[in-house]
Amino acid sequence: MTTFTLDGRTALVTGARDGIGRAAAVALAEAGADLVLWGHRDDLDSAAAEVAGYGRKVKTVAADLSDEAAVQRTAERVLAEHEVQILVNNAGIIRRGPALDMPDSDWSEVLQVNLNSVFQLSRLFGGPMCERGSGKIINIASMLSFQGGVNVTSYTASKHAIAGLTRALANEWAPRGVNVNAVAPGYVATANTAVLRSDPVREAEIRSRIPAGRWAAPHEIVGAIVFLASPAADYVHGHVLAVDGGWLSR
């Protein structure tokens, strides 16, 4: 179905080295898009090789998303060379611990990477999309865009805000032809959840609450990202699409 193909488009994915970001980049390439992979100080060679394996053009850039000036410089460099039609704001971090013990720096770092940089990148790449009258922005939300979570205050605050930001930008930019949506993954086996999965009690607690009865693999999340990036989703605006094994239905 041509409405699901991304031929001739360029997608930028942040946090593309591994986990959900890498799986998203590969799926977008498989659907036809060329890729800009945005890393941290990571080695993106392996992810880039996998994308190139689908015959797509791929460029890698690196900038710490907690450094606003570096983000601005890097985005400007990308914009000078590429028309980015799809932006996937995927990179994210989590700091676990009780709110009363949390260092102020943990709070600021999580909000900076998970929220402020998403707003910054959305404006930097969404501006040209609005001028062209088309574009897709997909933010990665979480079950903690809907629920409070356990000992992850800063993460929950950032992911609730991602749902709000998605809706607020959709309201402003839908009339300009730009779709802003989010995907909310359930519990996915990545580095982000390694601590939970290594605690047998917590792991069993979580798994037993998932109707599907298991954690997701990263590749199970990314069909929703490809859909939201495609012409098939041209009339979808401000939606937070859960891909959660039924978690929110419980």
Which residues are catalytically annotated?
Answer: 155
Stretch that binds ligand NAD, among 19-27, 48-56, 125-133, 172-180 (CB under 6 A): 19-27
Report 105-164 residues binding ligand NAD (CB under 6 A): 113, 140, 142
Q: Exactly one of 122, 153, 192, 230 binds ligand NAD (CB under 6 A); which one?
A: 192
Stretch that binds ligand NAD, among 1-9, 15-23, 204-212, 227-235 (CB under 6 A): 15-23
Q: Rounded to the nearest whole angstrom, what is the least distance from the CB of residue 125 to ligand NAD in the complex?
A: 15
For position 193 contacting ligand NAD by CB under 6 A, the verdict is yes
Minimum CB distance to ligand NAD smaller for 77 or for 132: 77
In b/e form, how buried is each residue of 57-78, taking b as 16+ CB within 10 angstroms?
ebbbbebbbbeeeebeebbeeb
- SS3 of residue 5 by DSSP: coil
Q: Rounded to the nearest whole angstrom, what is the least distance from the CB of residue 131 to ligand NAD in the complex?
A: 26
For position 92 contacting ligand NAD by CB under 6 A, the verdict is yes
Stretch that binds ligand NAD, among 174-182, 185-193, 223-231, 235-243 (CB under 6 A): 185-193
**Which strand ranges, in their side-by-side order, compose the sheet holding 178-185?**
58-62, 34-39, 10-14, 86-89, 135-140, 178-185, 240-243
Task: Read off the amino acid at residue 39.
Answer: G
What secondary structure does DSSP assign to 122-160, as a single string? Answer: HHHHHHHHHHHT-EEEEEE--GGGTS--SS-HHHHHHHH
Rounded to the nearest 5°, which phi and psi values hold at 38? Answer: -105, 115
For position 245 contacting ligand NAD by CB under 6 A, the verdict is no
Q: Rounded to the nearest whole angstrom, what is the least distance from the CB of residue 117 to ligand NAD in the complex?
A: 7
Stretch that binds ligand NAD, among 3-11, 87-95, 125-133, 165-173 (CB under 6 A): 87-95
Report strand pairing: 178-185 vs 34-39. Answer: unpaired
- Do the beta carbons of residue 25 and residue 37 sit within 8 Å? yes
- Do the beta carbons of residue 144 and residue 114 sit within 8 Å? no
* Residues near ligand NAD (CB under 6 A): 15, 17-21, 40, 42, 64-66, 90-93, 113, 140, 142, 185, 187-188, 190-193
